[in-house]
Structure 1
Amino acid sequence: MKLEIGNFLIKDVIFGEKTMFNNGILTINKEEAIAFIKEDEHITDVDIVIAKPGENTRIVPVKEAVEPRIRPDGRAVFPGVTGDIEMAGSGRVHALKGCSVLGVGMHYGSFGDGLIDMGGEGAKYTLFSQLINICIVADTDEEFERFEQQKKNTAIRMASHKFAEYLGATVKDKEPEEVEVFELDPVIKRTEEVNKLPSVVLVMQPQSQMEALGYNDEVYGWDMNKYVPSFMNPNEVLDGALISGSFMPCSSKWSTYDFQNFPTIKELYKEHGKSINFLGVIMSNLNVALEQKKRSAIFVAQMAKSLGADGAIVTEEGYGNPDADYILCLAALEDVGVKTVGISNECTGRDGASQPLVTLDVKANALVSTGNVSQLIELSPADKVIGELQALARDGLSGGWSYDEILGPSVREDGSIIMENNAMFCGDMIAGWSPKTMKEF
């Protein structure tokens, strides 16, 4: 499968008379864009706000991030979600680089929502402070979940995917500034030179624990709670086959933007044919019951062994209960002779003294940590808030609270905040962006 991603580098995003892309400037007709978003009858109120790097702007509650893209041949950017189900991973897709569409709650947040600071101390905690963010700030008629801590956020999340495709259409018929090419030969038809290299497979564990459908990540529009581990071409991941869900504390989340640009996949591609033979992706899942976790680990280990993998990278979206899936998978791979490295965040408590993962195994002896979800973060007031700051305290965002007997309220009267890293939008960057390092004491 050969995938070409034609990149258009965004220098600025502005509002204007016509929605178009020209000389690095994305112009949006705000009135027409709002009318497009409100075609979904569940969106009752919406505004579009542009947030740029370096501004003293705080965005919360953020529910989703999507890179604007379009397929010149007319196929859906997200098959099974924004259009018909067709195989992703081949052909040409055009992408607007340096920006994202953010789905933001106008009035209500959720356990899996997060916060982005575009400037100041908070900017270092999330990749999205480095992008120009086109924020869909919306309210919906989903009153049945309005005061629920855990929300599906369906209308706002789906609006984000559709609007990203809407903006991508501005470059449908243009020539990109650069083209990235991703292509792997079939596993059993590679050259002798490539086959002599150590073979490596990437095991991904997207969030799929909610047995009630609608909260989980989706693959080709299929709720991944119904999924079993399968072998996928990495191009499918980069090309819209997966979208993010609404479940899991936000710093641990993979947004759709993460799937579209998954850095670990791109790094493995860079080394393919040089230092490794990149076999592809075993797309696994995260489960609730122990027997389900064991079954998935068996599937993953069998596939890796059958593919002839010498080594594997395992990465999980989440922590806590998913740690059991993560460690079982690592151990199962080691048991069949596949040398394995794990990538995840950890939960060591606010004091850093707790056990980092819920379960451990002596075979899991090569682990990469992307940070502590419970780390306390204090941030000064922002000049501007996009969304609703009080959602951090009122609505059960995983890193905020209404009142703590020691720390007081998460949102203070002057607009400053204290929160756990948990609520930083995709803050632990488990997809492979993370600049964090570890210190030994």
Structure 2
Amino acid sequence: MRLEIGNFYVRDVVFGKVTSYRDGVLTINKEEALQVVREDDHIIEADIILAKPGDPVRITPVKEAIEPRCKVSGGVMFPGVLHKLLPAGSGRTHALKGSCVLAVGKHWGGFQDGLIDMSGPGAERTAFSQYLNICLVADTDEAFERFEQQKKNRALRWAGMRLAEYLGNCVKELVPEEVEVFDLPPIHERPTEVQQLPGVVYVIQLQSQMLENGYNALVYGWDANRMVPTLMHPNELLDGAVISGSFMPCSSKISTYQHVNNPTIKCLFEEHGKTINFLGVIVSNLNVQLEEKTRSALFVRQLATQIGAQGAIVCEEGYGNPDADFIAVVNELTDAGIKVVGITNECTGRDGRSQSLVDLSEKADAIVTTGNVSEFIRLPPMERVIGELVALARDGNSGGWEGSVKEDGSIEMENNGMFCSDDNTGSFYKTVVEY
């Protein structure tokens, strides 16, 4: 399967008469873009606001992040979600690199929503402060959702996807500045010298713990709660087959932007044929019941052994209850003779002294940590807020509480509320230092 991603490197975003891309500048016709947003009748208020690196701007509650892209050949954008169900992962896709569509609540948030600072100390805590952010700030007529976890997320997230595709279409007929090629043939068709290298599989555990529709990650539009672990081609993930859910507290969440730019997958591609034989991706889920956790772990083991894996990277989206799924998979793979490295964040308390994972095992002897969700943070006020700052305290957003927003606009919060800050896909620059 061969996927080409044509990259256009955006250096600035402005508003203008025609949505277009030229010489590194993305120009947006705001009214036309908002017409795309308002295709959902539930959206009653909407605006597009630009936020750039270094701006004295705070954005919250952020619900989703999507890279502006368009499909040139070989399928559709967001298959099974915005468009009909077609295979992803082949043909040509164009991407506006360095730009990002953020779906932001205008009035109400939820515990799964996060905060982004574009400058100051908060900007160091999320990679999304480094992008040219096109903030879709919107509200809906669904007043009842103010009292539910979902908090208008579907309407705003789907509108964000429509907006991202609309923007991406402006480069559909243009020649990209760079073309990345991801070409991974079937395992049995690979040269002998490649097949003799250690076989490595990537296991990504998607957040899928809610029984109700609308919360969990989607795979080709299918709720990950209703699937068993599945072997997928890595190109499918890089081409939009997986859509972020809206359940996980925000620092632990993997946004749709991060799924299509997954650095771990790209690193495995880079090493393929040199040091490893990249076998593919096992897309797994995170469950609540012990029997479900055990079943998924067994499926992961069976898939990994059937394709001849000798090594595995296991990425967990989330913490707490999902730690049991994470450790169960590590145990099963290790028992099968497969060497495992895990990637996860931790919940060690504000002082860092609590048990890092809910479940532990001596077999989990190689884990990359991406941060402590409970880390206490103080942030100074910002000149401007996009969205609604009081949502952090009023609506039970993860990381916030009553009194966490001060009268001068400064904040006391936990890392839990920083948008996708722990980034278990590996695209951020946190490290652990022992003093």
> When the two structures are superposed, what TM-score results if normalisation uses the length of structure 1?
0.97
Q: Aligned AA for 1:398?
A: S
Q: How many angstroms does 1:150 deviate by?
A: 4.5
Q: Aligned AA for 1:17?
A: K
Match of 1:422 in 2: 416
**Is 1:296–2:296 an aligned residue pair?**
yes
Q: How many angstroms does 1:30 deviate by?
A: 0.9
Match of 1:62 in 2: 62
In structure 2, the CA distance between the partners of 1:277 and 1:167, relative to structure 1 (3 Å rule), is same
**Is 1:440–2:434 an aligned residue pair?**
yes
Q: How many angstroms does 1:145 deviate by?
A: 1.2
Match of 2:407 in 1: 413
Match of 1:324 in 2: 324
Match of 1:47 in 2: 47
Q: How many angstroms does 1:157 deviate by?
A: 0.5
Q: How many angstroms does 1:434 deviate by?
A: 2.5
Contact 1:213 1:225 in 2 (8 A): no
Bigger CA drift: 428-437 or 56-65?
428-437
Match of 2:262 in 1: 262
Residue 284 of structure 1 aligns to a residue in which SS? Answer: strand
Match of 2:224 in 1: 224
Match of 2:236 in 1: 236
Supply the distance in 2 between the matched residues of 1:436 and 1:73 (Cα, whole angstroms): 37
Aligned length: 435
Supply the distance in 2 between the matched residues of 1:207 and 1:152 (Cα, whole angstroms): 19
Contact 1:111 1:151 in 2 (8 A): no
Contact 2:76 2:88 in 1 (8 A): no
Match of 1:406 in 2: none
Q: Aligned AA for 1:187?
A: I
- Gaps of at least 5 residues in structure 2 are none
In structure 2, the CA distance between the partners of 1:74 and 1:292, relative to structure 1 (3 Å rule), is closer
**Is 1:284–2:284 an aligned residue pair?**
yes
- Spell out, residue by residue over 1:274-297, the C-alpha distance to the aligned partner (whole angstroms, 9 max, x if none): 111110101110011001000000
Residue 146 of structure 1 aligns to a residue in which SS? Answer: helix
Match of 1:5 in 2: 5
**Is 1:392–2:395 an aligned residue pair?**
no
Supply the distance in 2 between the matched residues of 1:148 and 1:284 (Cα, whole angstroms): 27
- Gaps of at least 5 residues in structure 1 are 403-408
Q: Aligned AA for 2:167?
A: L
Match of 1:208 in 2: 208
Contact 2:272 2:278 in 1 (8 A): yes
Contact 1:151 1:215 in 2 (8 A): no
Contact 1:342 1:368 in 2 (8 A): yes
Residue 175 of structure 1 aligns to a residue in which SS? Answer: coil
Match of 1:82 in 2: 82
- Spell out, residue by residue over 1:260-281, the C-alpha distance to the aligned partner (whole angstroms, 9 max, x if none): 1000000000100011111010
Q: How many angstroms does 1:223 deviate by?
A: 1.0
**Is 1:163–2:150 an aligned residue pair?**
no
Supply the distance in 1 between the matched residues of 2:157 and 2:284 (Cα, whole angstroms): 23
Q: Aligned AA for 1:239?
A: D
Residue 80 of structure 1 aligns to a residue in which SS? Answer: coil
Residue 72 of structure 1 aligns to a residue in which SS? Answer: strand
**Is 1:197–2:218 an aligned residue pair?**
no
Q: Aligned AA for 2:427?
A: W
**Is 1:336–2:348 an aligned residue pair?**
no
Q: Aligned AA for 1:414?
A: D
Residue 211 of structure 1 aligns to a residue in which SS? Answer: coil
What RMSD in Å do the two structures reach over aligned CA positions? 0.9
Q: How many angstroms does 1:75 deviate by?
A: 3.8
- Spell out, residue by residue over 1:106-130, the C-alpha distance to the aligned partner (whole angstroms, 9 max, x if none): 0000110000000010001001000
Q: Aligned AA for 2:165?
A: E
Contact 1:68 1:96 in 2 (8 A): yes
Q: How many angstroms does 1:149 deviate by?
A: 4.0
Supply the distance in 2 between the matched residues of 1:32 and 1:363 (Cα, whole angstroms): 55
Supply the distance in 1 between the matched residues of 2:400 and 2:212 (Cα, whole angstroms): 25
Contact 2:142 2:152 in 1 (8 A): no
Q: Aligned AA for 2:53?
A: P
Supply the distance in 2 between the matched residues of 1:161 and 1:150 (Cα, whole angstroms): 17
Contact 2:224 2:285 in 1 (8 A): yes
Runs of 4+ in 1 over 6 A off after TM superposition: none
Indicate the percent of aligned positions where both proteins have the same amino acid. 63
Match of 1:72 in 2: 72
Residue 305 of structure 1 aligns to a residue in which SS? Answer: helix
In structure 2, the CA distance between the partners of 1:152 and 1:226, relative to structure 1 (3 Å rule), is farther
**Is 1:383–2:377 an aligned residue pair?**
no
Contact 1:65 1:256 in 2 (8 A): yes
Contact 2:75 2:90 in 1 (8 A): no
Supply the distance in 1 between the matched residues of 2:90 and 2:252 (Cα, whole angstroms): 29
Supply the distance in 2 between the matched residues of 1:46 and 1:152 (Cα, whole angstroms): 13
Match of 1:106 in 2: 106
Q: How many angstroms does 1:39 deviate by?
A: 1.7
Q: Aligned AA for 2:242?
A: L
Supply the distance in 1 between the matched residues of 2:165 and 2:267 (Cα, whole angstroms): 26
Supply the distance in 1 between the matched residues of 2:407 and 2:74 (Cα, whole angstroms): 50
In structure 2, the CA distance between the partners of 1:38 and 1:181, relative to structure 1 (3 Å rule), is same
Supply the distance in 2 between the matched residues of 1:354 and 1:152 (Cα, whole angstroms): 34
Residue 435 of structure 1 aligns to a residue in which SS? Answer: coil
Q: How many angstroms does 1:256 deviate by?
A: 0.2
Supply the distance in 2 between the matched residues of 1:182 and 1:151 (Cα, whole angstroms): 37
Match of 1:405 in 2: none
- Spell out, residue by residue over 1:308-367, the C-alpha distance to the aligned partner (whole angstroms, 9 max, x if none): 101000001100000000000000000000010100000000111100000001111111
Residue 73 of structure 2 aligns to a residue in which SS? Answer: coil
Residue 235 of structure 2 aligns to a residue in which SS? Answer: helix
Q: How many angstroms does 1:151 deviate by?
A: 3.3
> When the two structures are superposed, what TM-score results if normalisation uses the length of structure 2?
0.99
Q: How many angstroms does 1:74 deviate by?
A: 8.1
